[in-house]
A and B are shown apart, each in its own frame.
Chain A
Amino acid sequence: MTLFRLAFLSLKSRGMTVGLTILAIALSVVLFLGVEKLRTGARASFTDTISDTDLIMGARSGSVQLLLYSVFRIGNATNNVTWESFQDIASRPEVSWAVPISLGDSHRQFRVMGTTPEYFERYSYRGGRRLDFQQGRVMSDLFDAVVGADVAEQLGYKVGDPIIVAHGLASFTEHEDTPFRISGVLEKTGTPVDRTVVVSLEAIEAIHVDWQSGAQRPGAPTSADRLREMDLQPAAITAAMLGVESPLQIFTVQRAINEYPEEPLLAVLPGVALQELWGIVGIAETALVGVSAMVVVTALIGMSAMILSGLNARRREMAILRAMGAGPRAVVALLMIEAILMGAIGSATGVVLLYLGLIAVQPWLDYTYGLYLPITALTAQEGLLLIAVVAASALVSLLPAIRAYRMSLADGMMVKM
């Protein structure tokens, strides 16, 4: 028989109240760790979206804005980069590869991106993974399109299906005269690529041959065959992904782009721009962490109140222990052990619930939001956090423990009940 066992038996005898208190602690721990996992998961997901690209180049705007529209397809470019400027930069000796991208058209709710076949070789995500095809292959004809996994799944597309590209975003004027054919469907990546329709740069030009200032030119549309014969070199692109020969040259190239005399351009390091983005998002994150920490504190205060309210009914128990030779300090220890037990069981339950929850929502989050939460062991920081919860349990139990100390000093071993 030890104090620990006494505490355990005493808790067990008050199953309902103790259970609810533990549940409150468990849920608060789930919330706290869940927010933490979601936060780091979201960051990792964002960071994983682009790798092995040294620089992103676009018209001069904000670096976060450039990153958002070029990589995440969030928002729009304010300006384009002329083809000449792109060629000029791409032909610099330090630049090992350059993939232009052209955005601005859409298919249903998905964005259409014009690029070169090299895109499929250069784009990599999640630490160096390349794009794979679940069906078909890279576009070979002018009117070939490759669709991301979400596009194929949500619209039921397979290789060989025709698709129509609309001009502009959320536009009703579809380019019905130039139907595309799906040449390949990409594997799921958990990145915005899943929600993109990829065509060649020339195709973007081709569908705009008969269009001027956003409206269709009167007269018969140019036939597909004639379009195939035309010189469809684009006049401008939206942005470009660049690879540099040596990491040391990244800043040289970046400076050259930023100081490009012919037109105002901007080059950003994806990692640096992401950091800048976190700087903005960080405030919201801190608020979220703060709120969930407050929930943990609330649960612990609830536990303290529960112990406190039970004290009067337990005076007899304390008196018996005093008569058996327990000092007031043992009474304090008993209450603290109870609190620590509840804190520890609550935390452990919370961790179990968290992982069950993660397993349950992981596919849904990945599918719906493209947010892939890897199920990994608790980090050292999260472990420390759990220890902090248990330590805080001991701390908040001091209030009822000290009260019990006073009561047991006053009652001694004689309580009339």
Chain B
Amino acid sequence: MAVAVAQRIRLSYSKYWYAYAMIAPVVIVLGVLVGYPLVRGIYLTLTNATSLNVGRQIGVNHIPDSFDFIGLDNYADVLWGPTAYDRFWSHFIWTVAWTAICVVLHYGIGLGLALLLNRKMRGRGLYRLVLILPWAVPTFVTVFSWRLMLADGGAVNGLLSFLHLPEPAWLSDPLAQKAAAILVNTWVGVPFMMISLLGGLQSIPQELYEAAEMDGASPWQRFRHVTLPGLRTVSSTVVLLGVIWTFNQFAVIFLLFGSGAPDAQILVTWAYRLGFGQQPSDYAQSATYGILLLSILIVFTTFYRRWLARNEKANG
């Protein structure tokens, strides 16, 4: 007994040291490659840096930085400056709508398929394999394939014309572009939700369903009062991740439209375009968008987690 106590004391003494040793690699990598860029990014937002006035190396000559510190002017300009609506708010509204629609579709379709896959049925393993497949295709490849399918005369419009439905110009009409982006992103994002929720369903104890059935609960009531509460923890995590990832979904929109389609650009791709897709590149404005984006997500996450905590308390 005394030995055990002594050992415990010794272990707790060394505990922090081990913990810090184990997290050190991640802290260092993130500190250098994410922390420092963040600080520098914030600094850039307070300047008027563009690709014309930042320091650069031309041959053997080093040209030093020549941009100025301008305080919060970039933020003021992005949020309230002339044409702020076209430059920021319209993209902001579209980004929020895009995130909401995509996450609802991901979650809804993912949950539906997970419920089907959770039943005992023939060929379940095969269905599961095929349905996760979209996740394993590199985004680069996915988007290219969809571009071929969505092109005028491509497979999607072929199907629509076969069904005698209108055939929108997916890649050039502004509204259809948005629909196309949502369609592609839904295809990309459903497998992750489906698999996470399927696992969540499998972890709900069968006894709960048996008890509910004994009490005469209808299928809908069982879903509402057993399945959904049982999925609460999984759902809250995957929805949060889904919102973050969709909000920052760079690859799908960037690869689908390149530098065209100004209306369908969400904030991330728009920020990238300001920083890299034009001459001269406006690093300061691009970074300002980036920081605004990050702030929006942090505020959202803070409220979301507070809301979850309150819900948890309310539900005991």
Answer yes or no: do A and B interact: no
B residues in contact (CB < 8 Å) with A: none
